[in-house]
Amino acid sequence: MKAVDTLGEEHNAVLVVLSRLKQAARAAAEGQEVPADVFIDIGEFLSVFVDRCHHAKEEAVIFPLLREQGDNSLVDRLAADHETGRHLAAELARTIENYIPGNADAGQRLAQAVEAYSNLLEQHIQDETELLFPAMIRLRREADLQIVRACDRIEVEEIGEGTHERFHAMIDSLPGRLEGVHQG
């Protein structure tokens, strides 16, 4: 099933970014001067790639198909996670806006928001891997093509051509940009 592979790859990219974000936030909470643009770029990734693209794909096409085959309680739970994630991401975006490199108080507020958001999203991804993917594999054969087409359309409409590549380049740039940042 191709759609499961695509979503799995997107989850892996999200997990890599979250681990870099946690590293940067821990350093910021200690008062290290983490460049603000690291948090700004990751914040954009969370809003555009995770919410407007990845979550939108799941909500627009996968969840309705799963409801048709009776997986309502699973879909309710995952959709509620997306909603909670939106609130936590908004809070995180506020702390990123107010971040001042070298200011430990601002860094601690940012780190708390990062922890709440990443805890939710990491658990959510684990639940999707263990429960959503097997449920998708149970869908009828034609559903996979339907999902892949809808996902391609959302990708173009929501993030535009080339943005995926730009995000991957951003992810690849993070280790270098965090080179001087030490783990607490």
For Fe ion, the binding residues (CB under 5 A) are 58, 128
The token duo for 22 is 């946690």
* Min separation Cβ 58 and Fe ion, Å: 5
d(CA 130, CA 15): 16
If the CB atoms of residues 98 and 119 are measured against Fe ion, the closer one turns out to be 119
DSSP 161: T
* Min separation Cβ 7 and Fe ion, Å: 6
d(CA 124, CA 127): 5
Residue with tokens 């990219």: 13
The token duo for 78 is 């995952």
What are the angstrom distances between the C-alpha of 81 and each of 69, 123, 167? 21, 9, 23
Q: Is the distance from CB of 103 to CB of 30 less than 8 angstroms?
A: no
How many CB atoms neighbour CB 11 within 10 A? 20
If the CB atoms of residues 128 and 155 are measured against Fe ion, the closer one turns out to be 128
If the CB atoms of residues 41 and 58 are measured against Fe ion, the closer one turns out to be 58
* Min separation Cβ 163 and Fe ion, Å: 18
d(CA 98, CA 106): 7
* Min separation Cβ 26 and Fe ion, Å: 25
If the CB atoms of residues 139 and 178 are measured against Fe ion, the closer one turns out to be 139
d(CA 107, CA 87): 20
* Min separation Cβ 8 and Fe ion, Å: 9
